[in-house]
């Protein structure tokens, strides 16, 4: 399936219900509707990676409405066990209200060398909430940080690929599906340079171009909109890719969210030392070899600008969503 086909323009009267709403709200300027030639017995395959954020939810809704009948679609949510409780609620509400049919996945880490990541299927009730998948990953691969940014790949991308393979969605030379990724027009710098080769599809850039404000305005209509205290709490609450401004804002109010990274640094800081380690030979999560305890101490000192404006720190990796195939991107700049 070629991406070129996914970008062809169709008549406006083929807009879906969701597209009409976006059009009426003035959120979409140039509607482009992907079409697929119906010349094979098998439906084209489309994998949608739902990160649990608003952008990803809007992308998933639009794609399901547009391609639900014509494509074989799999929607997955890879749980690290370290999300804010509101994120789990939101994933579940999207599923219940919009029929996403989300497959909740978690990493299964084999501690033996040369054994890859596999997946297990969980659900809203059984999903880990105390960092269990994250801990299994760190125990084998070490604490992730700017030098060893592997957590998205190990805990999300490879987990999703393991599940998709079990459903006949193949990668490599046998690549037979497209992956929809929730990156918006105002995050265009996060697109992969190998998107053509890997069949990555960016609906909110190429088909329904939207900004963060567009997405927020749309989601605000729904009483079950994502109810995070602020965008600083998105994804793994303690994500090391977040700006120090966001991390300190979270730590000041909710130091308990740093118990997981503190536990992992204490138990596994000596796993795979090397370039990723600090002067003491141990790995920590945060920029400048800072530990979870350091972040809490910084927050207590209060010498930082609080994250109060959702327009801050937008166009940087994991600013609000942890997307698959994004580990190569640069972490956010150090901002405090």
Give the interface with ligand SF4 as residue ranges (CB under 6 A): 80, 144, 151-152, 155, 235-236, 239-241, 318, 322
Looking at the Cβ atoms of 204 and 237, the one nearer to ligand SF4 is 237
Whole-angstrom Cα distance, residue 286 to residue 19? 40
Check if the beta carbon of residue 327 is closer than 8 Å to that of residue 152: yes
Check if the beta carbon of residue 67 is closer than 8 Å to that of residue 46: yes
We find the least distance from the C-beta atom of residue 153 to ligand SF4, in angstroms, to be 9
Looking at the Cβ atoms of 54 and 66, the one nearer to ligand SF4 is 54
We find the least distance from the C-beta atom of residue 333 to ligand SF4, in angstroms, to be 16
We find the least distance from the C-beta atom of residue 53 to ligand SF4, in angstroms, to be 10
Looking at the Cβ atoms of 45 and 156, the one nearer to ligand SF4 is 156
Whole-angstrom Cα distance, residue 19 to residue 12? 10
We find the least distance from the C-beta atom of residue 149 to ligand SF4, in angstroms, to be 7
What are the φ and ψ backbone dihedral angles of 163, each rounded to 5 degrees? -65, -45
Check if the beta carbon of residue 141 is closer than 8 Å to that of residue 149: no
Half-sphere exposure of 141 (CA within 13 A, CB side): 24
Check if the beta carbon of residue 315 is closer than 8 Å to that of residue 187: yes
Tokens of 147: 């030098």
We find the least distance from the C-beta atom of residue 72 to ligand SF4, in angstroms, to be 27
Check if the beta carbon of residue 57 is closer than 8 Å to that of residue 94: yes
Looking at the Cβ atoms of 82 and 94, the one nearer to ligand SF4 is 82
Looking at the Cβ atoms of 226 and 318, the one nearer to ligand SF4 is 318
Half-sphere exposure of 221 (CA within 13 A, CB side): 11
Write the DSSP assignment of 128-168 as a string of letters. --SSHHHHHHHHHH----SSS--HHIIIIIHHHHHHHHHTT
Nearest to 324, CA basis, from 95, 74, 129: 74
We find the least distance from the C-beta atom of residue 41 to ligand SF4, in angstroms, to be 38
We find the least distance from the C-beta atom of residue 160 to ligand SF4, in angstroms, to be 12
We find the least distance from the C-beta atom of residue 155 to ligand SF4, in angstroms, to be 5
Question: 120 by DSSP, 3-state: which?
Answer: strand
Tokens of 112: 């033996």
């Amino acid at each position: 399936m070629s991406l070129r086909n996914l970008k062809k323009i169709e008549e406006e009267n083929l807009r879906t219900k969701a597209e009409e709403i976006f059009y009426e709200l003035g959120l979409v300027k140039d509607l482009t509707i992907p079409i697929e030639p119906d010349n094979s017995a098998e439906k084209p395959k489309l994998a949608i990676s739902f990160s649990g954020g608003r952008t990803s939810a809007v992308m998933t809704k639009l794609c399901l409405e547009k391609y639900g009948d014509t494509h074989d679609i799999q929607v997955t949510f890879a749980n690290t066990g370290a999300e804010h409780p509101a994120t789990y609620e939101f994933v579940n509400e999207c599923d219940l209200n919009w029929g996403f049919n989300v497959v909740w996945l978690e990493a299964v880490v084999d501690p033996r060398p040369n054994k890859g990541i596999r997946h297990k299927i969980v659900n809203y009730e059984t999903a880990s909430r105390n960092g269990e998948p994250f801990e299994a990953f760190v125990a084998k691969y070490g604490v992730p940080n700017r030098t060893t940014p592997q957590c998205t790949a190990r805990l999300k991308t490879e987990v999703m690929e393991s599940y998709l393979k079990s459903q006949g969605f193949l990668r490599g030379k046998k690549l037979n599906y497209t992956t929809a990724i929730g990156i918006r027009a105002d995050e265009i710098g996060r697109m992969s340079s190998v998107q053509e080769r890997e069949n990555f599809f960016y609906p909110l850039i190429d088909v329904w171009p939207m900004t963060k404000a567009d997405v927020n305005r749309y989601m605000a209509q729904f009483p079950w909109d994502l109810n995070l205290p602020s965008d600083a709490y998105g994804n793994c609450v303690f994500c090391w890719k977040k700006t120090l401004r966001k991390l300190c804002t979270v730590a000041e109010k909710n130091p308990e969210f740093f118990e997981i990274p503190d536990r992992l640094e204490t138990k596994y800081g000596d796993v795979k030392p090397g370039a990723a380690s600090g002067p003491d030979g141990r790995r920590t999560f945060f920029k400048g070899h800072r530990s979870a305890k350091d972040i809490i101490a910084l927050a207590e000192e209060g010498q930082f600008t609080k994250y109060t404006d959702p327009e801050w720190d937008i166009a940087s990796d994991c600013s609000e969503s942890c997307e698959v195939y994004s580990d190569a991107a640069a972490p956010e700049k150090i901002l405090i």
